[in-house]
Amino acid sequence: MQTVRTGLSPMLRQSRPSASILARSIATSSPRPASPPSPRSSTSVASGVTVTQDEASRAFDLAKVGSNQLSLETPRNGVEYALGTMDKIVNWARQGSMWPMVSFPFILMGRRAKLSRRTNELTTFGLACCAVEMMHMAAARYDQDRLGVVFRASPRQSDIMIVAGTLTNKMAPSLRKVYDQMPEPRWVISMGSCANGGGYYHYSYSVVRGCDRIVPVDLYVPGCPPTAEALLYGMLQLQRKMRRSRKGVQWYRR
């Protein structure tokens, strides 16, 4: 054991056993010189994860042959090219004819009461105060009809459900029933903090803490209430999601 490394003289270690034990512990815990890194490995400073060149090349090959989601837009053969072209045409038609059905109690009263034409117009409203901004988007200032977004009163004719407002426990089974009546493909937009996670009534005993516990949600629009611009931007993002879907190619690759 070297005196320079431990900092204790040999005479002190012989006179005091505790000093000898301390010297051995200091020598054991002394840092060792780091071994040079392997030439086939690279360390990321930000994450501290070592990735070898073999792993990186393997990941690149997997992405090249089309194992990730982004490769669905790159066809491998003529069949996938034809299916991808058909998907683009179908997605173009879908994004230009978005027919949302807004959840409202009057929709659920259709079986029990005769709804006049005027009452059918009321079915395009929402559950709570978020419906004001939704009606603002449908008005002349933003004119959602120019995007192909037209409100429908029947779930059989709709492909989008906008849950705008507070969803209560009593309303949840009916909301799920209306969702099941919508034909495929269907999408759900959660509008406002109450629909996203309960919002102001999060700790209430009678409120569902997020409509995603009842129906699968494709898009969340934050805010209390969200502005008409936010909901319109959500519609544009949903159109973008429709454009990127490749149902035919996914079916072929199975």
What is the rounded CA–CA span in Å between residue 217 and residue 97? 20
Q: What is the pTM of this model?
A: 0.60
Residue 181 lies in a domain: yes
Q: Which residue has the higher pLDDT, 128 or 124?
A: 128
**Residues 176/179/180/186 CA torsion (nearest 10 deg):** -140
Of 102, 179, 148, 136, nearest to 242 by C-alpha is 148
Predicted pLDDT at 61? 59
What average pLDDT does the chain have?
A: 69
Longest CA–CA separation in the chain, Å? 106
Residue 207 lies in a domain: yes
Q: Which domain holds residue 244?
A: 122-253
Residue 93 neighbours by CB distance under 10 Å = 11
Q: Percent of the chain scored above 90 by pLDDT? A: 2
Q: Could you give the number of structural domains in the chain? A: 1
**Overall average pLDDT of the 147-163 stretch:** 81
Residue 2 lies in a domain: no
Residue 153 lies in a domain: yes
Question: Please, which residues have CB within 8 angstroms of residue 241's CB and are 6 or more apart in sequence?
Answer: 187, 218, 219
Q: Which residue has the higher pLDDT, 24 or 71?
A: 71
CA distances from 153 to 19, 39, 119, 129, 193 (A): 87, 66, 10, 19, 24
What CATH number should be reported for the domain holding residue 249?
3.40.50.12280
**Overall average pLDDT of the 30-56 stretch:** 52
